[in-house]
Amino acid sequence: MRKIFLLTIAFMALAFTSCTTVDSAEVGIKYKKWSSDENLKGGVVGTCKGFVWYNPFTESVFKYETFVQPKDYEVLSVNTKDASTFTMDPTIAYRLDADRATDVFVKFRKPLKDIENGYMRTCIYDAYRLCANRYTADELMANRAKFEDEVYAQLDSILSREGFFIEQFTSNITPPKSLQNAINAKNEAVQNALKADNQVKEAEAKARIQIAQAEGEAQALRIKADGEAYYNKTVAQSLNEILVRQYALEKWDGKLPQYTTGSNTLPLIGLK
């Protein structure tokens, strides 16, 4: 009984070490640890999923994730063609092409984390370096979007040949401190110029309003003066000697104003 029990334990242990599972978000690569077969590159037997049985003494199963892998790299420094140093803070999101998994395994024989920290990081740095050497510092700052597109295109061309798809790639481009200070000073000068221009326009607008108000008031005074002059002229033209005498008689109290000449008192006005 004891012997049967030990054999059972040994069989279960062997079975446990002879089987693995590859889920739907992975691709398994079954390979021989030692192989003289030239047709088996890297000893790869093939890809596999689900429950996979293998001989733990001569075979093994390597797994690669096939879902998107995000990676935020440390800051990289590159030089432009005028020797200005820029820093890049790249972030990449990539995934393995499941159909190329065996090629990736044969070439690298490492987990994805090791590949992204080694080979992939080198590719990113080289893409930055080669593209930055096409620009001066001022040109790079003026064409940052174009620069990033060129870096992405070069990186995508290299990694796609190796079996990787780039889902997203971004950079945080930081210029040299001296250049950044110059940019800030230029921006401040532009803002001050705009502010001064706006102040001039505001003063001109206020002046135009005041002139318009003054012109309006002057026009109103001219109209009023012209009206009064017209009224006075019309009234004056309507007055004649008969109307004046009639108006005087209407106001007369019946007494003649007198003045004295010698011994005679004569009326001030003559009546006919």
* Two structure tokens written together for 210: 């005041």
Q: For the chain (length 272 residues), average pLDDT per consecutive 10?
A: 55 62 92 76 85 88 95 94 92 95 93 95 96 92 93 95 95 80 66 72 79 78 73 64 64 62 54 48
The confidence score (pLDDT) of residue 96 equals: 96
Task: Enter the pTM of the model.
Answer: 0.62
Q: What DSSP string describes 149-178? A: HHHHHHHHHHHHHHTEEEEEEE--EE--HH
Q: What DSSP string describes the chain? A: -HHHHHHHHHHHHHHHHTEEEE-TTEEEEEEESS---TTSGGGEEEEE-EEEE--TTTEEEEEEE-S-EEEEPPPEEEE-TT--EEEE--EEEEEE-GGGHHHHHHHH-S-HHHHHHTHHHHHHHHHHHHHHTTS-HHHHHHTHHHHHHHHHHHHHHHHHHHTEEEEEEE--EE--HHHHHHHHHHHHHHHHHHHHHHHHHHHHHHHHHHHHHHHHHHHHHHHHHHHHHHHHHHHHHH--HHHHHHHHHHH--SPPPEEEETTEEEESS---
Pairing relationship of beta strands 44-48 and 164-170 according to DSSP bridges: unpaired
Cα first-last separation, the chain: 174
10 Å Cβ neighbour count for 253? 5
Q: Which single residue is written with the structure tokens 């994730």?
A: 65
Q: What is the dihedral of CA 9, 11, 12, 18, to 10 degrees?
A: 150
The confidence score (pLDDT) of residue 121 equals: 96
Q: Which single residue is written with the structure tokens 């992204």?
A: 116
The confidence score (pLDDT) of residue 271 equals: 47
Length in residues, the chain: 272
The confidence score (pLDDT) of residue 205 equals: 79
* Two structure tokens written together for 259: 């003045």
User: In sequence order, which residues have a C-beta less than 8 Å from that of residue 169 and are 6 or more positions away?
Assistant: 90, 91, 92, 93, 148, 151, 152, 155, 156
